[in-house]
């Protein structure tokens, strides 16, 4: 496979469910890895996936909105355990905004 210099994120071809599942997988790996620097990169990838999901979720899809919000809470909990309280607060606020 040949990549052009400018390619869109592979997340753009995923369904909403797949994007949320991907965010959860990133977070799961982050919680199980011993290297805090890699864990933070995975947290960033979690955030990017959740942001993509938030952009595509329909207001009527309350189940998926709840899934995204719960994942933001999980991300906040992990960040808090890592001593990253400010980032955790941002994640919690995003969960609150979803409802």
Res 10: pLDDT = 65
Res 99: pLDDT = 78
How far is the CA of 46 from the CAs of 3, 60, 72, 73, 99, in angstroms? 24, 23, 9, 12, 19
Residue ranges of the chain with per-residue pLDDT less than 50? 1-4, 6-8
């Amino acid at each position: 496979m040949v990549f052009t210099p400018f390619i869109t994120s592979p997340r753009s071809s995923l369904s909403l469910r797949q994007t949320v599942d991907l965010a959860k997988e990133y977070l799961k790996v982050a919680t199980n890895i011993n290297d805090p620097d890699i864990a933070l990169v995975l947290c960033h990838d979690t955030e990017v996936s959740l942001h993509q999901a938030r952009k595509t979720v329909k207001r009527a899809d309350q189940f998926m909105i709840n899934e995204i919000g719960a994942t933001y809470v999980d991300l906040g909990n992990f960040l808090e355990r890592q001593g990253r309280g400010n980032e955790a607060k941002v994640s919690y606020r995003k969960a609150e905004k979803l409802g």
